Amino acid sequence: GAGVSQSPSNKVTEKGKDVELRCDPISGHTALYWYRQSLGQGLEFLIYFQGNSAPDKSGLPSDRFSAERTGGSVSTLTIQRTQQEDSAVYLCASSLSPDKETQYFGPGTRLLVL
């Protein structure tokens, strides 16, 4: 079956530009998560969506980062005025329900800010 998909797979941008990263979760999964993975580091939580509830934004590193989830399915992570330190792999995951369910990851978007 189809897994979590993300686009683009790679993105190169100039410092100061805005970028949008897209995530398509597994069909029927109600929970969606965004993580960031910098080179040589583990995964850093960014934001979490569950159904129609207000998202948990506690992991967003600055107000330049925002995310939305339309119709309880597709999500977009937006980074405004990108900085070089934003360069990382951005990973999306989804889970069937919020109750201790395994999170399944997409392949990630590799962002490089020049």
Rounded to a whole number of angstroms, the minimum distance from the CB of residue 36 to another protein is 11
Q: Provide the mask over 40-69, with x wherever binding to another protein is found by CB under 8 A and - wherever it is not.
A: xxxx-x--x-x-----x--x----------
Contact 25, 92 (CB under 8 A): yes
Stretch that binds another protein, among 14-22, 62-70, 75-83, 89-97 (CB under 8 A): 89-97
Buried b (16+ CB within 10 A) or exposed e, 69-94: beeebebebebeebeeebbbbbbbbb
Contact 46, 60 (CB under 8 A): yes
Query: Is residue 21 close enough to count as binding another protein by CB under 8 A?
Result: no
Distance (Å, whole) CA 91 – CA 67: 13
Query: Which residues contribute to the site for another protein (CB under 8 A)?
Result: 4, 31, 33, 35, 37, 39-43, 45, 48, 50, 56, 59, 89, 91, 93, 95, 97-108, 110
